[in-house]
Structure 1
């Protein structure tokens, strides 16, 4: 490709500018982006822009305010990152080395999504790293470190609204020269309790800021945001790709299984052992306890998995997602208890079951409702600091014991880029069709095929097996009815999974053994062990443990008193239990996720080899008896 220097002495492509590819579709070259961005795109082997990128990037490059709605996995992140980077590169090239200012603010609802956006920025600034600086201020770190990073006025700041407001109020985050404001997952931001933060940010914006909002749905929350950020009467350009998505060939197959509560566990056992589903799987469950219960249950059969929930520190959650994308883990058990989060103060109300669209919109618009998170989880540092300051100022008589709560900036079903997921398994059906849509959006991304499999408990089978029952399953049939109607409106179809449960009767005695081993005490101990290990491995606590070795000793010697009983016989499936097809129906180590590579003992292998050759062992038998084979004439004589 030929290139020449433009008026800003920046190389740019010539010859095919504005030309579409041979198939008639837009190409990245035709979008008139900076050549260094095109190099990064080529390095990532992106052949052509997605529909939201092909239509959204030109609008953003022209300086228009954009409100885009596109399905999960359609490439919305790149649709706003590329035009912002292009504008920054052009401004910096003509800035005559003036002092840089923060010109772009990207707001996201969760810390995981903030880390993902930052990683995308790093990827696409590979050839322009000296000209564009970006910082993620949502991560957990010392306040002095964040302050020093913001003091250098990075070009792009990625943050959650709460963290952005915190530094804005302290005059550390300067928005006086801001040119671009992005709100990613706009319909989710208000549900995470950021309305007051967004109001403060909107009031601090200078005039003329370009506003870009990305969302998977156009709902009442988006209307609230547009009224907040476009109070001057201006209206954004609405980019709705529903028609294009409906015309696309469906790549997602959706199935449901009618099952009793204890049969959910029987199904996931046989699904992985008989290799009914291959590839990476995300198992969504209702809460943190359920998360560890499923993990411990699968371990009884030698099926290893990892957990992902708001109880884990944010760095651990990011690491789990990263390892899953690399292929280290095949199965993630995710407790997405923050599908919809209540107000900022942590006063969360359990939302009622969705019956129709009008009720759902009314609840969502009010920002109310959440699945109650477990109260024994670890709090984030910023929340602890705020509560400590409040408690210090309050009279002693008014101080109350602090309750621990889940990280409100956590979310799995939205924003996180799980790669190459072959199946999303809804072990527990979500409470709304909206949550279902976001969950299944983790698979069948970027043109790949995928499957969504959901278990639902009919009314007559609810509470028939109390040890495995949870209240959320009571209204599964009503929720499923709404899910079916919503998916039909979008051109999708939810079918019954044709599965003969009678063929699994032989596995039931193994199910009973495994369920008996996974007690409430075992679940509690598993949660404690996971958090203890995170504390031991924490880089930030390393110095504390060096100064207080007794704390580390207590953590390491705080052994479990109620471990799950090991049952090796459950890890193997005998031939008489197999359905038609025998051993061929069972995959070897299906769903196994080894945390470390099991290496063969080389010394033991060599000893066994030598033993087979008669070396390195005590000689036995006739002819090898030293008394009978004694040579009286001396060595070497016959």
Structure 2
């Protein structure tokens, strides 16, 4: 299978050859002919499977083939691509520009965290393809600086993540501004019920393509977990990084403040590290990402939302300093390694209080994660995964009626499985359906 056999135009084939992109991935082989034929497409693909080219290449070709001979005034967007984060907006924008370098199409991106005026000027000069985060696009629509009445193709990229971030009301408001006689493409890592409902509401007889089962992971990734007490995670992380001094590493933390603090602690330990999260400006986030990609920084510490859509080539190792509160986010995190057939490793540092989260991840994946205790970092409490115990020493069992660990009388000691269950519904950390979270997250 070649890109030429998929029916792509010479200008696109030339650009692909110049970037040494020679063989289509499965999602590209399945989706490109369908998009070129004008079908609505519902695509299931994880990050790293080549889905940007799967919709981007046929999108550019269809626009180039149907380009008006002359346009009076600035060109309005003929294609709109909605994405959940500004990092993904930048990535998709850069990819489309590379693919379309030999086509006369204007491509731009708009997102929160950047100045409005430069974006307004770009829109005034004329745009063929607009890549946008929902929140900032609505700002432009309300100001009248963006018009969507000429859109021929609508693409929702990482739709599941946009719904997780509470963008559904914003998406519906945007789609209401787009002509109904359009071609619609929707790409998502999962085909859960919310995604199927969205497809039924806004798509016309979509053709479905899926290159991997829901919540599956690349078989080129090795998974391991190290049990350790929470307060000693940083110490263990530094120990791991010191022993693996040649590799670049992406580390996931739970909070923005925690990521900043961890990056500073790694710097104090002599490890070049940068943090990326929603409180940083777009310029600061791009600078941190550039430092990591160039090798100036060896460790990138990120939150889930900030890391969504990052395109990092040949990343050998991802470390979960904190396990995600939602099991599905584990799949998104480790999708940064083991991409396009490369070998990768996902390592999780698991405290006794996170044993329940680990069990949720294993149940979702329907697979065990190999567990290894690092000598000198044995946890003080024993905990179990679904099928195998962590090798931790057990202290003497307290006598009945005594107060374990200084807890008040009558209060049960907290075990690894205690605590509230994690849910994905509203009211448990997820925005309600009527809430629009800022695209700067």
Matched, 1:434 2:328: yes
5+ unaligned residues in a row in structure 1: which ranges? Answer: 1-25, 340-410, 459-473, 504-638
Inter-partner Cα distance in structure 2 for 1:160 and 1:436: 23
Given that residues 82 and 155 in structure 2 are in contact (C-alpha distance below 8 angstroms), is that contact kept between their aligned partners in structure 1?
Answer: yes
Q: Cα distance, 1:223 vs. partner?
A: 2.6
Equivalent residues of 1:413, 1:435 under 8 A apart? no
Q: Distance in 1 between matches of 2:84 and 2:301?
A: 22
Cα gap change, 1:88/1:27 in structure 2, threshold over 3 Å: closer, same or farther? Answer: same
Cα RMSD after superposing both structures: 2.3
1:331 and 2:299 are equivalent in the alignment: yes
| Kept after mapping to 2: 8 A contact 1:101/1:154 | yes
Once the two structures are TM-superposed, the CA of residue 502 in structure 1 deviates from its matched residue by: 6.9
Following superposition, the deviation at residue 304 of structure 1 comes to 2.1
In the alignment, structure 1 residue 285 sits paired with structure 2 residue 249: no
In 2, Cα distance between equivalents of 1:34 and 1:135: 22
Q: Superposition pairs for residues 382-461 of structure 1, below 5 Å?
A: 411-458=305-352
2:355 to 454, 473, 477: 477
Aligned equivalents of 2:87, 2:213: Cα separation in 1? 30
- Alpha-carbon offset, residue 291 of structure 1: 1.6
Cα distance change of structure 1 residues 43 and 323 upon mapping to structure 2, 3 Å threshold: farther
Which of the residues 242, 250, 275 maps onto 2:212? 242
The alpha-carbon distance between structure 1 residues 51 and 244, as it changes in their structure 2 partners (threshold 3 A), is farther
User: Partner residue of 1:148?
Assistant: 121
Q: Distance in 2 between matches of 1:485 and 1:66?
A: 30
- The match for 1:251 is 220
Seen in structure 2, the aligned counterparts of structure 1 residues 244 and 448 have a Cα distance that, compared at 3 Å, is farther
Task: Determine helix, strand or coil for the equivalent of 1:453.
Answer: strand
CA–CA distance in 2 between the matches of 1:249 and 1:288? 28
In the other structure, the counterpart of 1:71 is 46
Q: Tell me which of 357, 369, 375 is aligned to 1:494.
A: 369
What residue number does 1:298 align with?
266
1:143–1:245: structure 2 CA closer, same or farther, 3 Å change rule? closer
The Cα shift of 1:122 comes to: 1.8
1:35 matched to 2:35: no
Counterpart Cα distance in 2 of 1:166 and 1:224: 26
Q: Does 1:46 align with 2:21?
A: yes
Once residues 414 and 103 of structure 1 are traced to their aligned partners in structure 2, the CA distance between those partners, rounded to angstroms, is: 26
**Which residues of structure 2 form unaligned runs of 5+?**
379-441
User: Which residue pairs with 1:321 in the alignment?
Assistant: 289
The Cα shift of 1:256 comes to: 0.6
CA distance 1:298–1:209, shift in 2 (3 Å): same
Indicate the residue corresponding to 1:159 in structure 2: 132
3-state DSSP class of the match of 2:306?
coil
Higher helix proportion? 1
Give the structure with higher Rg (CA).
1
Q: CA deviation at 1:445?
A: 0.9
SS of corresponding position for 1:157: strand
How far residue 253 of structure 1 moved from its aligned partner, in angstroms, is 0.4
Offset at residue 328 of structure 1 (A): 2.3
Highest RCO, 1 vs 2 (Cα 8 Å, sep ≥ 6) = 2
Deviation by residue 1:583-604 (Cα, 9 ceiling, x = unmatched): xxxxxxxxxxxxxxxxxxxxxx
Is the partner of 2:42 in helix, strand or coil?
strand
Query: Does the 8 A contact of 2:251 with 2:321 survive in 1?
Result: yes
Q: Distance in 1 between the 2:18 and 2:368 partners?
A: 37
Q: Residue in 2 aligned with 1:134?
A: 107
Instruction: Assess if the C-alpha contact under 8 Å between 2:86 and 2:111 holds in 1.
Output: yes
How many residues align? The count is: 377
Aligned-pair CA distance for 1:274: 2.4
